[in-house]
Amino acid sequence: MTSTQASTQDRRTFAIIAHPDAGKTTLTEKLLLFGGAIHTAGEVKARGQNRRARSDWMKIEQQRGISVTSSVMTFETQGLTFNLLDTPGHEDFSEDTYRTLTAVDSAVMVLDAARGIEAQTLKLFEVCRLRNVPIITFINKVDRDGRDGFSLLDEVADQLQLDVCPMSWPIGMGADFEAIYDLDRNRLTQPIRGEDAIVTQCTGTDDPQLDALLTPAGVKLFREEVELAQGGYSTWDAERYRAGDLTPVYFGSALREFGISELIDALARFAPGPRVQPATPQPVSPEDPNVTGFIFKVQANMNPMHRDRIAFMRLCSGRFRRGMKLNQVGTGKSIAVHSPILFFAHEREVVDDAFPGDIIGIPNHGTLRVGDTLTDGPPVSITGLPNFAPEILRRVVLKDPTKTKQLRKALDDMAEEGVTQVFHPNIGSQWIVGVVGQLQLDVLISRLEAEYRVDAALEPSPWDTARWIASDDPAIMKAFADTHRSTTATDRDGAAVFMAKSGWDLNYAVERNPGIRFTATKERE
Cα separation values, 162 from 105, 155, 183, 262, Å:
18, 10, 20, 21
Q: How far is the CB of 24 from ligand GDP (least distance, A)?
A: 3
140 assigned to a ligand binding site: yes
Whose Cβ is closer to ligand GDP: residue 20's or residue 283's?
A: 20
344 DSSP β-pair partners: 74, 347
Q: How far is the CB of 420 from ligand GDP (least distance, A)?
A: 25
> What CA–CA distance (Å, rounded) separates 254 from 457?
43
Is there a contact between 292 and 380 (Cβ–Cβ < 8 Å)? Answer: yes
DSSP, collapsed to helix, strand or coil, labels residue 488 as: strand
Whose Cβ is closer to ligand GDP: residue 140's or residue 381's?
A: 140
Alpha-carbon dihedral 71, 76, 79, 84, rounded to 10 degrees: -20
Whose Cβ is closer to ligand GDP: residue 89's or residue 172's?
A: 89
Whose Cβ is closer to ligand GDP: residue 143's or residue 288's?
A: 143
Alpha-carbon dihedral 409, 411, 417, 420, rounded to 10 degrees: 180
Whose Cβ is closer to ligand GDP: residue 22's or residue 441's?
A: 22
The residues near 107 (Cβ < 8 Å, ≥ 6 apart) are 14, 15, 16, 17, 101, 124, 128, 133, 134, 135, 136
Q: How far is the CB of 254 from ligand GDP (least distance, A)?
A: 4
Q: Which residues bind ligand GDP (CB under 6 A)?
A: 18, 20-26, 89, 140-141, 143-144, 253-256
DSSP, collapsed to helix, strand or coil, labels residue 18 as: strand
Q: How far is the CB of 147 from ligand GDP (least distance, A)?
A: 14
Whose Cβ is closer to ligand GDP: residue 191's or residue 371's?
A: 191
- The DSSP 8-state label assigned to residue 256 in this structure reads T
Is there a contact between 367 and 351 (Cβ–Cβ < 8 Å)? Answer: no
Q: How far is the CB of 144 from ligand GDP (least distance, A)?
A: 4
88 assigned to a ligand binding site: yes
10 assigned to a ligand binding site: no
154 assigned to a ligand binding site: no
Q: How far is the CB of 26 from ligand GDP (least distance, A)?
A: 3
Residue from 230, 167, 223, 171 nearest 197 by CA:
171
Q: How far is the CB of 86 from ligand GDP (least distance, A)?
A: 10
Residue from 331, 336, 405 nearest 364 by CA:
336
340 assigned to a ligand binding site: no
DSSP, collapsed to helix, strand or coil, labels residue 86 as: coil
Whose Cβ is closer to ligand GDP: residue 15's or residue 389's?
A: 15
Whose Cβ is closer to ligand GDP: residue 110's or residue 329's?
A: 110
Whose Cβ is closer to ligand GDP: residue 115's or residue 129's?
A: 115
- Phi, psi for 493 (deg, rounded to 5): -90, 5
86 assigned to a ligand binding site: yes
Q: How far is the CB of 122 from ligand GDP (least distance, A)?
A: 15
Q: How far is the CB of 217 from ligand GDP (least distance, A)?
A: 22
> What CA–CA distance (Å, rounded) separates 434 from 424?
11
> What CA–CA distance (Å, rounded) separates 88 from 194?
32
User: Kind and range of the H or E element at 160?
Assistant: helix 149-160
Interior angle at CA 456, CA 443 and CA 62, nearest 5: 25
User: What sign does the CA torsion over 1, 378, 128, 494 have?
Assistant: positive
Q: Which residues are annotated as a binding site for GTP?
A: 86-90, 140-143
Q: Which residues are annotated as a binding site?
A: 86-90, 140-143
